[in-house]
């Protein structure tokens, strides 16, 4: 549809839609590489993308109404409509994925807490509840904005076992896992292998053997591994050290 008049805005609907797609791509990259402060809380980038889509739709709607009333030039093509649909679909899919990931994290946290282990969002925190959360965090939940950073078996608790590690494996951003005095076995360490960001792992006072260490050879970011009072031999520790030369193994 085209309406003509003496006034011609410098922008066109085509350019606005292309700019929206560029903004979404920029936000996706910023979230991936953590360029800005707001990227430290994972939910903000997707909310900005959704807001950008909503603002674009509102602006185009007002522009169209203004064109009808004031006879401004308003021209759009089928390509613009398809691109706008794609931009809206990207934002909605991203939001849906973020909500689903937050739900799965909440469920994993509930299962881990039931196994008498502690869960925290920051390595300096001892609890999973943040004080005075902002309104959006209250509405969408802490798990929408923050990844779990660490899981720790409670002192003197032996309830945590291999089945609980399967839920821990869903926390892909986990940095620290402390399983001291747990009932984790060699077989359970196959779930630990699914944590690519892990930098600290404690297996002290468990029944882990050399066979279980084979599951850990792919954890390239692991910096500290504690094996005190386990069934790991010097030979097993040496083989793992060769596979992970940057890891400090404490025995």
State the Cα–Cα distance between residues 204 and 152, nearest whole angstrom: 12
Starting at the edge strand that comes first in sequence, how are the strands of the sheet with 150-153 ordered? 117-120, 150-153, 176-178, 200-202, 224-226, 248-250
pTM equals 0.79
Q: Is 20 exposed, middle or buried (0-12, 13-18, 19+ CB in 10 A)?
A: buried
Length of the chain: 251
Each residue's pLDDT, cut to its tens digit, for the chain (251 residues) gives: 444 444 544 677 788 899 999 999 999 998 888 888 877 788 899 999 999 999 999 988 887 787 788 877 667 778 888 989 999 999 999 999 999 999 999 999 999 999 889 898 877 654 444 444 567 777 788 899 889 999 999 877 778 999 999 999 999 999 999 999 999 999 999 999 999 999 999 999 999 999 999 999 999 999 999 999 999 999 999 999 999 999 999 98
Q: Which of 186, 216, 182, 185 is nearest to 198 (CA)?
A: 216
- Six-digit token string for 116: 């008498």
CB 74 within 8 A of CB 63: yes
State the Cα–Cα distance between residues 45 and 175, nearest whole angstrom: 22
Find all residues with CB under 8 Å of 122, minimum gap 6, and list them. 149
Q: How many CB atoms lie within 10 A of CB 170?
A: 19
């Amino acid at each position: 549809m085209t309406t003509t008049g003496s006034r011609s805005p410098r922008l066109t609907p085509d350019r606005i839609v292309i700019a929206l797609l560029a903004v979404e791509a920029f936000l996706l990259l910023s979230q991936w590489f953590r360029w800005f402060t707001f990227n430290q809380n994972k939910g903000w980038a997707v909310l900005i993308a959704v807001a950008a889509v909503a603002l674009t739709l509102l602006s185009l709607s007002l522009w169209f109404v203004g064109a009808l009333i004031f006879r401004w030039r308003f021209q759009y093509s089928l390509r613009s409509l398809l691109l706008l649909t794609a931009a809206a679909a990207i934002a909605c899919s991203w939001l849906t994925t973020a909500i689903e990931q937050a739900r799965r994290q909440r469920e994993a946290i509930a299962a881990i807490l039931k196994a008498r282990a502690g869960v925290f969002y920051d390595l300096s925190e001892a609890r999973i509840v943040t004080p005075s959360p902002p309104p959006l965090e209250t509405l969408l939940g802490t798990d929408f904005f923050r990844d779990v950073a660490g899981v720790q078996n409670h002192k003197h608790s032996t309830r945590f076992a291999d089945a609980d590690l399967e839920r821990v494996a869903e926390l892909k951003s986990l940095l620290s896992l402390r399983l001291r005095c747990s009932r984790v076995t060699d077989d359970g360490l196959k779930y630990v292998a699914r944590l690519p960001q892990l930098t600290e792992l404690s297996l002290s006072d468990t029944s882990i053997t050399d066979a279980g260490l084979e599951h850990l050879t792919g954890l390239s970011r692991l910096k500290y591994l504690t094996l005190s009072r386990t069934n790991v031999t010097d030979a097993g520790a040496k083989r793992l050290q060769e596979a992970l030369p940057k890891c400090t193994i404490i025995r």
